[in-house]
Chain A
Amino acid sequence: MPIKLNLEKIMAERGISLTELAGRVDITLANLSILKTNKAKAVRFTTLEALCRELKCQPGDLLEYTKDK
């Protein structure tokens, strides 16, 4: 998938665990894990909004486009 979610990097910078973030954004741990491992096919705006709110970042910080090699 050319669109990547740099969730792991930003979580490490903010010092927040997966479990804590899942509780704050009201997403299940399983779904957050899907996001973190870039297995998701789509992200809802509501989810993106919740992540940006809790991680205090912009959508552009989370999303990255890489060309498929």
Chain B
Amino acid sequence: MKLNLAGKLRTLFGFLRGCVVFVAAVAMLVVTVKLWMLLSHSDNRPDISVTMDGVRLGIPPDTIELKSDRSNPGDLVLEDLAGSVKVNLFSKDTRLVNALVWTVFPGAMLGFAYYFLLFGLLRNVCANIEQGELFSERNVRMVRRMGLLLIGFGLFNVFSSLIYAQVIGRYFDQHVTLAGIKASIHMLTKWSDQPITVIGPGSIWERIVTGCIVLLISEAFRQGLALKTESELTV
């Protein structure tokens, strides 16, 4: 029994592409409804929160004492804690909402567009392969576009993470205080801070490296097309 892998993958990517459209539409609808509820001054406060990862809580020296039964005093020092912060997208604080709107929404829309384009390209390549067209100009172009899309979105994630941290971090610096502990929240408010926390997630670099690999594969496709053309013109 022949496994029509290209056909099955074409169906899968078509389905995923449809899911992206559906999720984007639902997200837009939910946000619009919640916004309408907010603007109507309803007593039911909308509850959509955004979680930001890569937040560091800088601990001043000697604030929290670490002890072990084997180490000497001063051997263990707590310098910072890392985690995530959850904020309400529909907070009454317009400054917070502005900071979130200018970071969350553009990123989400571009994310939806990225997955829509990526699944579309994958679906089209699978459709061509299913029709017996593996090495063709169209497939070479589409695979190259996939590679560029992966690299482009990876680079966008790198820069947007830094920008988002600046925007949100400025809000935290200017308007947020911590109660109960004398410490400050760092979200890369200064360019000199180590950016590792924000751009450390492997998915960004993996995306860029995967994009480079896909570009190499498109080159293999191009050479395959050249060999196929030569073979077709060998009588």
| Chain A contact residues, CB within 8 Å of chain B | 27, 31-32, 34-35, 39-44, 47
Contacts and interface: CB of A to CB of B under 8 A. Distances in A.
Contacts of A43: 234-235
Nearest to B230: A41
Interface of B: 230, 233-235
Contact of B233 (A32, A40, A47): A40
Contacts of B233: 34, 39-42
Contacts of A31: 235
A14 to B, nearest CB: 19
Q: Which 4 A-B pairs have the closest CB atoms?
A: A42-B234, A41-B233, A31-B235, A40-B235
A63 to B, nearest CB: 13
A40 B230 CA distance: 8
A22 to B, nearest CB: 11
Contacts of B235: 27, 31-32, 34-35, 40, 42-44, 47
B230 to A, nearest CB: 5
Nearest to A39: B233
A42 B229 CA distance: 11
Nearest to A48: B235
Contacts of A39: 233
Contacts of A40: 233-235
A35 B230 CA distance: 14
Given A35-B235, A41-B230, 18 more contacts: A27-B235, A31-B235, A32-B235, A34-B233, A34-B235, A40-B233, A40-B234, A40-B235, A41-B233, A41-B234, A42-B230, A42-B233, A42-B234, A43-B234, A43-B235, A44-B234, A44-B235, A47-B235
Contacts of A47: 235
A46 B143 CA distance: 37
Nearest to A32: B235
B231 to A, nearest CB: 9
22 contacts: A27-B235, A31-B235, A32-B235, A34-B233, A34-B235, A35-B235, A39-B233, A40-B233, A40-B234, A40-B235, A41-B230, A41-B233, A41-B234, A42-B230, A42-B233, A42-B234, A42-B235, A43-B234, A43-B235, A44-B234, A44-B235, A47-B235
